Amino acid sequence: MAIDLSYAPGVTALVEKTEAFIREVVLPIEDEHGGDITAAGGDTLRVELQKAAKDAGVFAPHAPVEYGGHGLNMTDRAPVFEAAGYSLFGPTALNIGAPDEGNVHMLAHIAGPEQKERFLAPLAHGDMRSAFAMTEPSPGAGSDPSALTTRAEKVPGGWKINGHKYFITGADGAGFFIIFARTSGVPGDRGGATMFLTPADAEGLRVGRHIDTLDRAMIGGHCEVFFEDLFVPDG
């Protein structure tokens, strides 16, 4: 029996609208500034492009409908993401760039009601950016989270986090962080990693320098981040 690999008409229409939006709105700006999003306007440009994407009906294909997205599943969103990815600025315009896309997806599945209201809603709507802090300088966690050295210790009412992160995409200007920290074991052990959710303005969280990379299309850079007795409440 043949497998039908075609998409529903609504998905095909969204792909076509996304292709047109990227070609007519996004690429001219990207080309004018040589793929440098800071030179093109940085976060101001992001807001403008995302408003244009909303007006064009192509914004947030992955986000839940109740948070202003199209609510597409993993299969249906793939060709839309491909159309947006024809441009370096395209994912930012549709609010599907890293790390925000993954954080929207994760929070939609595992966040509690209060966390969704405080963090997911503004992220999905494009009112806030986010960061995901796992990568560390050697010998810490690069692509191998079992090498995690950032540690979270239980204290009354929550957790206290200490550590040093590297190449944290979008850190400068993010509204909140999802932090990978070790709660048990030692570097090299399997398991023991926990994710913590915290606003970026919490005392003890400090964004350091931007680390130079070939990429110039990511708002907020790829930064060093330091946690110095950062307290994260149990909630």
- Distance separating alpha carbons of residues 150 and 133, to the nearest angstrom: 10
pLDDT at 143: 86
Which residue ranges does the chain devote to CATH 1.10.540.10? 9-121
- Distance separating alpha carbons of residues 210 and 205, to the nearest angstrom: 15
Beta strands in 13-137 (DSSP E): 130-133
pLDDT exceeds cutoff 80 at 1 = no
Angle between helices 42-56 and 9-21 (to 10 degrees): 140
Q: Which fold has domain 130-233?
A: Butyryl-CoA Dehydrogenase, subunit A; domain 2 (2.40.110)
Kindly calculate the radius of gyration of the chain based on its CA atoms and give it in whole angstroms: 19
Class in CATH terms, 9-121? mainly alpha
What's the pLDDT tens digit per position in 74-86? Answer: 999 999 999 999 9
- Distance separating alpha carbons of residues 37 and 44, to the nearest angstrom: 10
Which DSSP state fits 156? T
Q: Which amino acid is at 130?
A: S
Which residue ranges does the chain devote to CATH 2.40.110.10? 130-233
- Distance separating alpha carbons of residues 10 and 12, to the nearest angstrom: 6
- Distance separating alpha carbons of residues 227 and 39, to the nearest angstrom: 30
pLDDT at 51: 98
Q: How confident is the model at residue 14 (pLDDT cuts 50, 70, 90)?
A: very high
Q: How confident is the model at residue 183 (pLDDT cuts 50, 70, 90)?
A: very high
- Tokens linked to 189: 């052990």
Q: How confident is the model at residue 42 (pLDDT cuts 50, 70, 90)?
A: very high
